[in-house]
């Protein structure tokens, strides 16, 4: 067969492959609802409130099916378990709005622990400073207010397993270009103080977190077993977790680049449509 025919076939295959990749890459991400949440455990006092209604106390066994605003008192902690198996724990002095149909939590202030499964999509934690989008992940998020109490001083994310994209918020981002540094991997912690900047992650001891963190060990009910956690702890003990994370960060970013900036919620209690996410090949 003449060389030009081989070249024509190869060129046709390349064009088709590029078209299929771009079509799938620009497809809208499907969001599966989390289902209703059950108040599995409560220590101290916590409340829920709906738009235009007074707050009411939470109690174990109560089921939440819509979009509530949640608050915990000083010295209190709360555990919610969703129909899809996702676990959400709130620490003391925490205020958040839950959007179960969009798999999102708006964190106003306080500390939360998310334990999600890779097959269900996890639970994203959004704030004024950063949008945390997980991929089957166990991670902690703490939002600290500034002295005035009118805005956030910092948001800290600590990843125990899986991957979290510490993505910029669209309304406050200086650029829409994804970066490898947006990805936070096991044993890493990032403290965001400026929505335009993403500081480099720092390594933390996973074993210390799972043995001492109140949101991890301070409940009577046990968390679902996660097989990657002891593996990550062992890799960290052997000194290979950091290099593994560096390799995975490159692989994940090239195979599936970090999310674009996430649109903020219009109001703290008003449900907004899920973000439209597209992927572009980095240069």
Q: Per residue in 66-97, pLDDT tens?
A: 778 999 999 999 999 998 889 999 999 999 99
- Please give the Cα distance from 79 to 213 (Å, whole number): 14
- Please give the Cα distance from 189 to 79 (Å, whole number): 23
Check: CB of residue 118 under 8 Å from CB of residue 47. no
Distance of CA 88 to the CA centre of its chain: 12
Q: Answer yes or no: CATH 3.40.50 is held by domain 87-96+105-255.
A: no
* Nearest CA among 27, 26, 78 for reference residue 48: 78
Residues 6+ apart with CB under 8 A from 58: 39, 42, 46, 47, 48, 70, 78
Give the domain ranges of the chain. Answer: 87-96+105-255
Residue 256 has pLDDT above 70, yes or no: no
* Nearest CA among 27, 25, 30, 29 for reference residue 280: 25
Look at residue 6 in the predicted model and tell me its pLDDT: 55
Q: 172 or 163: which carries more pLDDT confidence?
A: 163
The whole-chain average pLDDT of the chain stands at: 80
For 232-252, what is the mean pLDDT? 90
When mean pLDDT is compared across 113-127, 228-242, 260-274, the lowest value belongs to: 260-274
- Please give the Cα distance from 161 to 227 (Å, whole number): 9
Residue 27 has pLDDT above 70, yes or no: no
For 54-65, what is the mean pLDDT? 90
Q: How confident is the model at residue 244 (pLDDT cuts 50, 70, 90)?
A: very high
Tokens 């990657």 belong to: 228
Q: How far is CA 218 from CA 78, 110, 173, in A?
A: 10, 16, 36
Residues 6+ apart with CB under 8 A from 89: 77, 78, 79, 80, 112, 113, 115, 215, 219
Strand partners, 134: 164
């Amino acid at each position: 067969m003449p060389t030009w025919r081989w070249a024509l076939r190869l060129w046709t295959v390349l064009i088709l492959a590029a078209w299929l990749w771009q079509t799938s890459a620009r497809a809208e991400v499907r969001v599966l609802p989390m289902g209703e949440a059950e108040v599995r455990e409560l220590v101290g006092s916590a409340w829920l409130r709906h738009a235009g209604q007074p707050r009411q106390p939470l109690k174990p066994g109560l089921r939440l099916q819509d979009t509530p605003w949640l608050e915990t008192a000083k010295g209190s902690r709360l555990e919610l378990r969703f129909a899809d198996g996702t676990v959400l724990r709130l620490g003391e002095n925490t205020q958040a709005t839950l959007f179960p149909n969009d798999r999102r939590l708006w964190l106003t202030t306080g500390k939360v622990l998310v334990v999600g499964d890779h097959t269900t999509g996890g639970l994203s934690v959004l704030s004024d400073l950063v949008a945390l989008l997980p991929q089957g992940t166990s991670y902690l998020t703490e939002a600290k207010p500034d002295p005035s109490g009118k805005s956030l001083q910092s948001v800290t994310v600590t990843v125990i397993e899986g991957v979290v994209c510490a993505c910029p918020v669209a309304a406050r981002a200086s650029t829409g270009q994804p970066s490898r540094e947006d990805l936070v991997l096991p044993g890493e912690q990032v403290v965001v103080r400026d929505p335009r900047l993403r500081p480099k992650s720092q390594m933390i001891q996973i074993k210390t977190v799972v043995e001492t963190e109140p949101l991890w060990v301070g409940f009577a009910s046990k968390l679902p077993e996660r097989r990657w956690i002891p593996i990550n702890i062992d890799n960290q003990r052997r000194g290979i977790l950091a290099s593994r994370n560096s390799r995975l960060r490159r692989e994940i970013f090239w195979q599936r680049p970090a999310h674009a900036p996430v649109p903020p919620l219009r109001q703290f209690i008003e449900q907004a449509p899920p973000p439209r996410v597209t992927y572009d090949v980095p240069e």
